[in-house]
Amino acid sequence: MEFRLGDYVMDVPPDTRMTPASRMAPASAEHDARRWKLLIGSDTWFVALRPGGTLNDLKEDVFAQTRLEIVPDTVSINGIPGVRYAAEHEELTRVAWHFLQGSDLITFNLFVKAYLTKAEVESRARWMHSLRYSPAKG
C-alpha cells in the first residue's frame, strides 16, 4: 500500500493501520495531516513531516528528551540522506530515523516494549527501505 507524506512516498505493508497522531499534533489541521501513527504488526511507528527541519534535529530532539549528547549514525535510503539513533534497554527499544531531501524533514520513530537487537530492528524497518522522494506535481 502506498503512503505519501508531503513529497515522500513509501510502500507500507497491506495490513498497516494508519491514524493521524493527533496527540502529537498542534491544533492546525494542516499539521494534523503531517503526523501519523502507523501500526505495523505489533509495532507502533510515529512518522512526521517537519517543514524546514534539518538532520541536526535528531541530536536536538534526543538531548531535549534525555540530556544525552549523541552522535547519530549516517544513513541513506534510495539516495535520500539521513541519520539514525537507537536506544536499546531491557524493557524498551526506541529507534529514530530522520531523512532530508528538498525542504521537508521526514522522521520515523519506532517504540517497542522489548529489547531488540540491531538485526531485529532492521528486519522490522525493512518496509522503510521503499522510501523515495517524489515531489507532487502541482
Strands of the sheet containing 132-133, edge to edge, are 2-5, 8-11, 132-133
For residue 138, the model assigns a pLDDT of: 58
Distances in Å between the Cα of 86 and the Cα atoms of 69, 73, 92, 122 are 13, 9, 11, 11
CB 18 within 8 A of CB 38: yes
Tell me if 54 is assigned to some domain. yes
User: pLDDT tens digit string along 12-62?
Assistant: 888 899 888 765 434 333 434 488 899 888 888 999 998 888 999 888 888
CATH number at residue 45: 3.40.1000.10
Inform me whether the pLDDT recorded for 137 exceeds 80: no
* Domain span at 108: 2-133
Q: State the Cα–Cα distance between residues 3 and 119, nearest whole angstrom.
A: 25
Tell me if 138 is assigned to some domain. no
- Give me the number of domains the chain comprises: 1
For residue 108, the model assigns a pLDDT of: 92
Tell me if 122 is assigned to some domain. yes
Tell me if 43 is assigned to some domain. yes
Task: Give the model's confidence band at 8: pLDDT under 50 very low, under 70 low, under 90 confident, else very high.
Answer: very high
User: pLDDT tens digit string along 63-112?
Assistant: 888 787 888 999 999 999 999 998 877 777 888 999 999 989 999 998 88
